[in-house]
Amino acid sequence: MESILIHKTIIEPGNNEVVKIPVGRLPSGNQIRIEAHVFRALAPGPVLLVMAGVHGDEINGVEIVRRCLEAGWFETLVSGSVVAIPLVNIYGFINFSREVPDGKDVNRAFPGSMKGSLASRVARSLTKKVLPQIDMTVDFHTGGGSLYNYPQVRYSKGHEPSLTLARQFSAPVLLAKPPIRKSFRKVALDLGKPTLVFEGGESLRYDAQAIEKGMAGLRRLLEAQGMLSPAAGAIPARPAREFVRSGWVRAPRAGLFLWHKDSGKAVRKGEVLGVINDPHGNGQEVVPAPKDGFMIGHNNAAVVNQGDALFHIAYEA
């Protein structure tokens, strides 16, 4: 069985190692290192990358990976290997920000370059030092500021290994999406390596349901891959809802926004999902569902502008 090599450290089957990958320095001079926790069973099997915090303020993902590490799951692998990176974008994390300090998005900077912007350098350290060593990835994300995501997994449309992995994870919602240009998922897909992008909750805020569903899905995937023995007394997941299209319902006007219905529920065409009120009492506009679907995200902002994303609706195949 092959050795895994991550940033000058060789990890043999049966060994665990924490590898610190240097990405740069803060203006204060402090070195920034991405921590990759590598776990290897003696028996051969797939190498799974479990990562979070590519967007530094998406804390539910970071917490999911942290709890899996704390629970010692990966120390009991019966086959294969796990590379767990709880926090990719340390710069964003310490600034409570999605991006790196220059405002660039790491997940739009892949494959990256060590001569490029900071986002590009962070991306490069993953593509160069980690991606060649792994077979598949679960990338944990969280919704935006005030934008809540119902626990869901996005996988690459038309890529059979990605669909298989998504069904093994079996989040409450599975959504087929073409990969975004210059995202990690796209770069990995170009190498034939499937990536699941998990989404759950809002940025900078714990969401118990998202954390629980993220952990449960990862557990199911590890068991389905034969990497972990089935947990005693595990409750099987309800069958996932599978969708292949989604779209946003946007604010028809600016004002005070109140939703009547939130994520995780079926919606009917014409049903009133929320209202937008003029703050001076000069009128109200209702926001109807454009067609039948299932709500996978909604906006918790009290004040919205015209065109703001309000409800994310997934549609049947």
- What residues line the site for Zn ion (CB under 5 A)? 55, 58, 141
- What six digits make up the tokens of 132? 């060649």
61 vs 274 by CB, closer to Zn ion: 61
Query: Which residues does residue 6 pair with via DSSP β-bridges, in sequence order?
Result: 9
296 Cβ contact list (under 8 Å, min separation 6) = 149, 150, 152, 173, 175, 243, 246, 263, 264, 312, 313, 314
Minimum CB–partner distance for residue 55 and Zn ion (Å): 4
* Smallest separation, CB 16 to Zn ion (Å): 28
Closer of 81 and 183 to Zn ion (Cβ): 183
Closer residue to Zn ion, CB minimum distance, 88 or 189: 88
Least CB distance from residue 109 to Zn ion, whole Å?
13
Closest approach of Zn ion to the CB of residue 223, in Å = 26
Nearest CB to Zn ion, comparing residues 61 and 194:
61
- For Zn ion, the closer CB: 55 or 213: 55
Cα–Cα distance for residue pair 59/65, rounded to 1 Å = 10
Angle at 61 between CA 112 and CA 53, to 5 degrees: 30
Q: Closer to Zn ion by CB, 108 or 253: give it.
A: 108
Of 55 and 129, nearer to Zn ion (C-beta) is 55
Task: Please state the closest distance from residue 141 (CB atom) to Zn ion, in A.
Answer: 3
Per-residue tokens: 150 = 């119902």
In the complex, the smallest distance separating the C-beta of residue 87 from Zn ion, rounded to whole angstroms, is 13
Give min distance, CB of 228 to Zn ion, in A: 26
**Contact by Cβ (8 Å): 40, 76:** no
Q: Which is nearer to Zn ion, 218 or 227 (CB)?
A: 218
The closest alpha carbon to 37, from 61, 63, 19, belongs to 19
Assess contact for 181 and 105: CB atoms under 8 A. no
Instruction: Return the closest-CA partner of residue 48 out of 130, 119, 136, 122.
Output: 136
C-alpha torsion angle, residues 245, 160, 37, 139 (rounded to 10): -10
Q: Please give the residue whose beta carbon sits closest to Zn ion in the complex.
A: 141
Closest CA to 173 of 239, 268, 218, 262: 239
Task: Kindly state the helix (H) or strand (E) to which residue 92 belongs, with its residue range.
Answer: helix 90-94
Query: Minimum distance from CB of 290 to Zn ion (Å)?
Result: 26
DSSP designation for 237: P
